Amino acid sequence: MSSNSLINLPADSAARSTSVPWYAEQLEPNQLAEVKLFFIQYSDIRPDEVEAHILRARDAAWSISPWPCIGEFWFLTFSLSRHPAYTHILDTLRFQSHNDPNPPYKLLDLGTCLGQDLRKLAYDGAPIPALLGADLLDFEAAGHALFRDLDRFTRGHYIQGNIFAADDDAEDKLLKTRGSWFFVHVSMFLHIWPLEQQEEAAANILKLLKKEPGAMVIGTQTGTLTAKNDKLEPPFCRQGEEKYVYRHNCESMAALWHRVADAEGVKVDVWAGWNAEHHQKMEKIRREVPYEELSDAHREQLDERKVVFSVTRV
């Protein structure tokens, strides 16, 4: 689904059906166990109410946009906290004044959705004035409903804007923040486009960074062992439409950022690797099944990985 199709998704679109494979009726026990204490302590929700609360909040977010990350509760993984650079990011943010309304080190969570990674940073000690999110669609109220923190994450921590806004778009709020972020987090975001649009988005993401050594883009994306174009099927495209997105491996992800940075005249260090936990899990499955005898579709599922990366200005 493109940016425009997300905004204009009809109410009766097949993508909104709760019968699609990426809409889970219930939380898996391990999903609930991993986040239950967080919701008890951060959101002040009674232990016996946590699961029902999450399900209600998920359905409210699904009504805004039926992304797989919402249907399958990916927002409960707090992906930034699993990034190798998380400790560095958290330490940089939290060792500054919690009372400064405009701290020198700020993080923008791009494609923030419900703002889950911002809440985890705040829970771990980062000052809330340093934490802002941006998304194409308006999930701000849905995030407040999930985390019950309007008293802390007051309005103004959410920017509704378009990473593809033209340079002369005077109305786009995200565009106005270029050059003001020490950290930009990009999670499950680039992989929804073909390579050409990923490069355009990456160039605009670099423009969001402060022109200071150490300023970083960090992220996680759905990838695959062999980088390739991936053909979309309905309901992710119209019936009969031929549409592709690009899936990276570690090498192609690093090459993307080097290529874009060179074109923009920005000197960077780039690192990309597999999410270790997910990679080990998938490798174990590959060893236990007759991989070569599987259908192409099943092999593609087993080849899927999560690519984590960092791009640091030097």
Is residue 21 in some structural domain?
no
Is residue 95 in some structural domain?
yes
Is residue 26 in some structural domain?
no
Is residue 224 in some structural domain?
yes
Is residue 204 in some structural domain?
yes
Q: What average pLDDT does this structure show over 295-305? A: 89
**pLDDT (tens digit, 9 = 90+) per residue, 178-229?**
999 999 999 998 999 999 999 999 999 999 999 999 999 999 999 999 999 9
CATH of the domain at 238: 3.40.50.150
Q: Please determine, for residue 3, whether its predicted confidence score (pLDDT) is greater than 50.
A: no
| H-state helical runs in 227-275 | 250-264
* 150: Cβ contacts below 8 Å, ≥ 6 apart: 144
Its domain, for residue 215, covers 76-313
First-residue to last-residue Cα distance in the chain: 35
Is residue 27 in some structural domain?
no
Is residue 208 in some structural domain?
yes
Is residue 196 in some structural domain?
yes
What integer best gives the mean pLDDT of the chain?
A: 92
How many distinct structural domains can be found in the chain?
1
User: The whole model's pTM is what?
Assistant: 0.93
* 76: Cβ contacts below 8 Å, ≥ 6 apart: 27, 31, 34, 35, 54, 116
